[in-house]
Amino acid sequence: MRGEYLTGPHADGPPQLPADLAAQFRAQRHRLLSQLCAGPACGAVQRRLDALCRAYAELQAAGADQRERRDHVNAADRLRRLIAESLEDGLLRYSCRQKILAEARRLGFSEFQAQLLIAQVQFGDRQLEPASPGRPRPDAAPVSVIIARLAAAGVLALAMFLGLVRWLAA
């Protein structure tokens, strides 16, 4: 930071800080620079000037972080609107999904984040209902198939046991 107080971090003032704050910084920097050159307490003035420049730089960084967060929130809202506009009766076509993912990458979102946003917009907080209660789930096996599988496993286990007994008896 030393030496930077002669010109200031950004003498014109950064765009993210209010103009009056940049003007106050420049006025106080000018006053301290005049004291630095004219007085015997050069070390104390130099320390105060360094502290002023550090505080100004931290304010700039905080303003940049805040602007970056605001831009990210705006980007997420834009992406949510794009997703909502692309839905057709609650469904999202594959081609639309690919366009949304490309736009999300352009805005700085990872594919995972974009997929989460799509799911959030598409389904929201709705409770997802399983298949109608009168019909079985398509992945559920009928009871007869389960019984047949258990019987086959039992026969196979018995055959292995008898083979083991015969092998040990020989």
Q: What is the pLDDT, as a whole number, of residue 69? A: 61
Q: What is the pLDDT, as a whole number, of residue 127? A: 57
The whole-angstrom separation of Cα 96 and Cα 107 is 16
pTM of the model: 0.37
DSSP assignment, residue 140?
P
Query: Domain map of the chain by residue range?
Result: 4-123
Q: What is the pLDDT, as a whole number, of residue 55? A: 77
As averages over each run of 10 residues, the pLDDT of the chain (170 residues) reads: 45 56 78 68 73 76 64 78 87 90 89 90 68 58 86 95 91
- Helix spans in the chain (H): 19-38, 42-86, 94-107, 111-123, 143-169
